[in-house]
Amino acid sequence: MYDSKNITYYKFSMLKKEAVIMRKSNSPIAPVIGCIVIQICVGILYLWSVFKTPITEAFNWSSEAAQMVSSYMLFAFVAGNLIGGFINDKKGPKLTAVLGVVMFSLGISLTSLLSAKTIGLINLTYSVLGGLGSGFAYGACVSCVQKWLPHRRGLASGLAVSAFAFSTVIFAPVSKWLMEVFKDTATGIVDFKYVFLILGGAFFVFGIIGCLFVKLPDEKYLRGLPVVTSGRVHTGKDYTLLQAMKTLPFWCIFFSILFINGTWTLTVPLIKDLGIERGLTEATAIFAVSFTGVANALGRLVMAALSDKIGRTATIIVLSVITFVGAVLMIFIGGYAYIAVVALIAFGYGGPASVNAAITTDFFGSKNSGTNYGVAMLALGFSSIIFNAISSTVLKGNVVPTYIMAAATALVPIFMMIVIRKQLKKKSG
185/112 same-domain check? yes
Its sign, for the CA torsion 297, 298, 299, 302, is positive
- What is the count of structural domains for the chain? 2
Same domain, 252 and 350: yes
Whether 251 and 211 share a structural domain: no
147 and 235, same domain (yes or no): no
**Band (251; pLDDT cuts 50, 70, 90):** very high
Nearest to 179 by CA among 193, 167, 200: 193
pLDDT at residue 204 greater than cutoff 80: yes
SS (HEC) of 181-225:
HCECCCCCCECHHHHHHHHHHHHHHHHHHHHCCCCCCCHHHHHCC
203 & 113 share domain: yes
Q: Residue 23 falls within a domain, yes or no?
A: no
Question: Where a domain ends, among 153, 186, 219?
Answer: 219
Kindly state the average pLDDT of the residues 400-412: 94
Distance CA(310)–CA(29), nearest Å, equals 26
Whole-angstrom CA distances from 375 to 61, 93, 244, 251, 405 are: 34, 17, 10, 10, 25
Structural domain includes residue 2: no
Q: Which of 190, 219, 248 is the last residue of a domain?
A: 219
Closest CA to 275 of 332, 326, 339: 339
What global pTM score does this model have? 0.74
Q: Are residues 344 and 377 in the same domain?
A: yes
Per-residue pLDDT at 286 exceeds 80: no
In tens, the pLDDT along 353-371 reads 778 877 888 888 877 877 8
Reported as a single tens digit per residue, the pLDDT across 74-85 is 889 988 988 998
Whether 3 maps to a domain, the answer reads no
Within-domain flag for 44: yes
Tell me: pLDDT of 69 over 80: yes
| Domain-ending residue, one of 189, 219, 249 | 219
Q: Assess if residue 365 is contained within a domain.
A: yes
Residues 145 and 100 in one domain: yes
Q: Please, where are the H alpha helices in 26-152?
A: 29-42, 48-59, 63-67, 69-91, 93-111, 122, 130-148
Give domain status of residue 156, yes or no. yes
Residue 126 DSSP class: I
Q: How far apart are CA 93 and CA 163, in angstroms?
A: 17
Q: Please, what sign has the CA dihedral across residues 90, 91, 94, 95?
A: negative
Residue 171 within any structural domain of the chain = yes
Question: What ranges in 261-336 are assigned the alpha helix state H?
Answer: 262-267, 271-277, 282-310, 312-329
What is the DSSP track for 128-191?
IIHHHHHHHHHHHHHHHHHHH-GGGHHHHHHHHHHHHHHHHHHHHHHHHHHHHHTB-TTT--B-
Rounded to whole angstroms, the Cα distance separating 201 from 89 reads 28
For 414, phi then psi, to 5°, come to: -60, -45
Longest dimension (CA), the chain: 94
What are the residues whose beta carbons fall under 8 Å from the beta carbon of 423, sequence distance 6 or more?
248, 249
The confidence band for 10, taking pLDDT boundaries of 50, 70 and 90, is: very low
- Produce one character per residue of 162-198: b if its CB has 16 or more CB atoms within 10 Å, e if not: bbbbbbbbbbbeebeebbeeebeeeeeebebeebbbb
pLDDT at 13 over 70: no
**Position 21 pLDDT exceeds 50:** no
Q: How many CB atoms lie within 10 A of CB 238?
A: 15
Q: Are residues 55 and 74 in the same domain?
A: yes
Q: Report yes or no: 100 and 154 within 8 Å, Cβ to Cβ.
A: no
The mean pLDDT of 304-310, rounded to a whole number, is 83
pLDDT at residue 95, rounded to an integer: 95
Please give the pLDDT value at position 235: 53
Residue 224 included in any domain: no
Three-state SS string across 381-395, please?
HHHHHHHHHHHHHHC
Expressed as residue numbers, the domain containing 243 is 229-429
Give, for 92, the enclosing helix (H) or strand (E): none
Instruction: State the average pLDDT over residues 341-357.
Output: 89
Please indicate, yes or no, whether residues 159 and 261 belong to a single structural domain of this protein: no
What three-state secondary structure class fits 261?
A: coil
Do 346 and 299 form a contact (C-beta atoms < 8 A)? yes
For the segment 151-166, the average pLDDT, to the nearest whole number, is 76
**Alpha-carbon span 160 to 352, nearest angstrom:** 13
| 384/363 Cα distance (integer angstroms) | 26
Of 99, 168, 92, 103, the closest CA to residue 130 belongs to 103
Residues 55 and 204 in one domain: yes
Which of 310, 312, 285, 304 is CA-nearest to residue 347?
Answer: 304
DSSP state of 330: T
Indicate if 260 and 408 belong to the same structural domain.
yes
Say if residue 203 is in the same domain as residue 278.
no
Q: What is the CATH number of the domain that holds 74?
A: 1.20.1250.20
Contacts of 385 by beta carbon, 8 Å cutoff, 6+ apart: 71, 75
231 confidence band (pLDDT: 50, 70, 90)? very low
